[in-house]
């Protein structure tokens, strides 16, 4: 590891940024250096700008990825190198508001029913039953499952916050069956060596494989199960602030997104057309009447 990368990592750690953010920011700087085959501290403002233009025009990266790279480079030049002016005038890309993919309850059952390995069945069921992020489920420890209070402790979730979520009796029974087979000793879902938690990327790969086996045509990711958890709770009448606490959202505005994807509430809302009695009771056109 170069001294420059080590210094950037220390700057990131001093600010207590998450490991995922640290990895993304360091990767952004490393890819910039690789593009020019030069140390990033030797690059000019125009070279950094040209690289960001390349990401948009040639590689067609998404606005969210562009913004992540920009933030990583901004951190490196402003904090680590103390060159505030390098990214002056380069603003974040506008990101469109897309509704998340949500599975119906029958599709969730279809997905879970297609899982063959007990470990993955327990893991994906936990994601859906408790609304966890994949980064949260892979670091669960056996001691986080509190069967006495029927709760799961989520340690240091997004924003470095602990929280508790419900422990479904059905999930508890499934986890007990899984434990009898796998006998994990520390991490609930350990990696291959047993000493470290499972790799998040492996969870994503397995998710796509299971979705194909289940015959689901939509793009299903582990986060799709979290979205489905929140939407199904909302459709069942759960208070939105309770859902906010369960998901670990800082802002209620983030949780309110699920009010837009609750199909049950959408189809249950009558159209104003159905409220117009005159139109609803109108008969067929008389002979000779002009067509609209």
pLDDT, tens digit (0-9, with 9 covering 90-100), for 140-183: 999 999 999 999 999 876 767 889 999 999 999 999 999 999 99
Which stretch of DSSP H or E encloses residue 291? none
Kindly state the average pLDDT of the residues 249-266: 75
- pLDDT for position 98: 75
Let me know if 226 is a catalytic residue: yes
What's the Cα-to-Cα distance from 135 to each of 13, 18, 114, 141, rounded to whole Å?
18, 11, 23, 13
Residue 287 pLDDT level (bands cut at 50, 70, 90): low
Identify the active-site residue in 70, 121, 226, 227.
Answer: 226
- pLDDT for position 277: 61
- pLDDT for position 256: 80
Let me know if 120 is a catalytic residue: no
Residue 269 pLDDT level (bands cut at 50, 70, 90): low
Q: What is this structure's pTM?
A: 0.71
Residue 267 pLDDT level (bands cut at 50, 70, 90): low
Identify the active-site residue in 158, 163, 200, 213.
Answer: 158
What's the Cα-to-Cα distance from 250 to each of 157, 246, 282, rounded to whole Å?
11, 11, 51
| Sign of CA pseudo-dihedral 123, 102, 18, 77 | positive
Let me know if 223 is a catalytic residue: yes
**CATH classification number, 3-80, choose in 3.20.20.150, 1.10.150.130, 1.10.10.10, 3.10.20.30:** 1.10.150.130
Kindly state the average pLDDT of the residues 104-123: 95
CATH class in words for 105-266? mainly alpha
Let me know if 249 is a catalytic residue: yes
Domain boundary assignment for the chain: 3-80, 105-266
Q: Decide: helix, strand or coil at residue 184.
A: coil
Average confidence score pLDDT of the chain? 87
Q: Tell me how far apart the alpha carbons of residues 254 and 39 are, in angstroms, rounded to a whole number.
A: 39
pLDDT, tens digit (0-9, with 9 covering 90-100), for 47-100: 999 999 999 999 999 888 999 999 999 999 999 999 888 887 778 877 767 778
Q: Tell me how far apart the alpha carbons of residues 138 and 202 are, in angstroms, rounded to a whole number.
A: 10
Let me know if 158 is a catalytic residue: yes
**Topology match between the domains 3-80 and 105-266:** no
Identify the active-site residue in 133, 153, 163, 213.
Answer: 133
């Amino acid at each position: 590891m170069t001294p420059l990368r080590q210094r950037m990592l220390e700057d990131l750690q001093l600010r207590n940024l998450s490991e995922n953010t640290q990895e993304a920011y360091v990767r952004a700087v490393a890819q910039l250096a690789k593009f020019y085959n030069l140390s990033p501290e030797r690059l000019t403002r125009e070279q950094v700008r040209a690289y960001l233009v390349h990401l948009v025009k040639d590689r067609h990266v998404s606005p969210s990825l562009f913004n992540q790279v920009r933030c990583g480079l901004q951190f490196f030049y402003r904090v680590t190198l103390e060159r505030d002016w390098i990214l002056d005038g380069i603003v974040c890309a506008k990101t469109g508001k897309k509704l998340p993919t949500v599975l119906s309850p029958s599709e969730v059952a279809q997905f879970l029913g297609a899982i063959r390995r007990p470990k993955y069945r327990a893991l994906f069921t936990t994601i859906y039953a408790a609304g966890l992020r994949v980064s949260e489920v892979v670091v669960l420890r056996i001691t986080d499952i509190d069967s006495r209070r029927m709760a799961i402790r989520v340690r240091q979730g997004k924003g470095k916050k602990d929280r508790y979520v419900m422990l479904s009796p059905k999930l508890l029974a499934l986890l007990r069956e899984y434990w009898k087979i796998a006998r994990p000793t520390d991490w609930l879902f350990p990696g291959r060596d047993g000493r470290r938690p499972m790799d998040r990327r492996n969870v994503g790969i397995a998710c796509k494989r299971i979705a194909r086996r289940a015959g689901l045509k939509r793009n299903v990711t582990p986060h799709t199960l979290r979205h489905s958890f929140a939407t199904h709770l909302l459709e069942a009448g759960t208070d939105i602030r309770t859902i906010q606490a369960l998901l670990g959202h800082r802002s209620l505005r983030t949780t309110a997104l699920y009010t837009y994807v609750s199909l049950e509430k959408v189809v249950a809302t009558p159209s104003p057309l159905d409220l117009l009695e005159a139109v609803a009771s109108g008969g067929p056109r008389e002979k000779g009447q002009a067509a609209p």
